[in-house]
Amino acid sequence: MEVYEALTMLRDKAFRDPELRERLLDTRNSNTPLSDFCRLSTQAGIELYEMDLLSAGEDYYAAMRRSTNGGGENSPLLTGEDDYYELFMEELEGMSLRNVPDI
């Protein structure tokens, strides 16, 4: 399962389960946030690993660079790769505030 698909499934579970959502949000305060996040995800039935999360944004960014003007040093300036963990946390916070899925 790809990272985006796993995060979509986890987001849907977190929407239906406010306790899971709060536990996932609490990982931000942990000494090992990614490890704890992935552990909770796996406990919820969605297998996710730290390296998958870390490399997903980087892989997407690298593919964008290669696709613009042949890639390399002459490609347009891009601002960097996405941090899927932080983006997911923002989504969860939005859910808590609105209590509606952002689908």
Top mean pLDDT of 24-28, 60-64, 68-72, 88-92 is at 24-28
Degrees to nearest 5, angle at CA 34 with 62 and 52 = 35
Lowest mean pLDDT among 5-14, 55-64, 68-77, 93-102: 68-77
In whole angstroms, give the CA distance from residue 41 to residue 9.
10
In whole angstroms, give the CA distance from residue 41 to residue 49.
9
Q: What tokens were used for 19?
A: 């306790």
Q: Is the pTM of this model over 0.85?
A: no
**What DSSP character marks residue 32?**
S
Q: What whole-number percentage of the chain has pLDDT above 90?
A: 45
Q: Are 91 and 11 in contact (CB under 8 A)?
A: yes
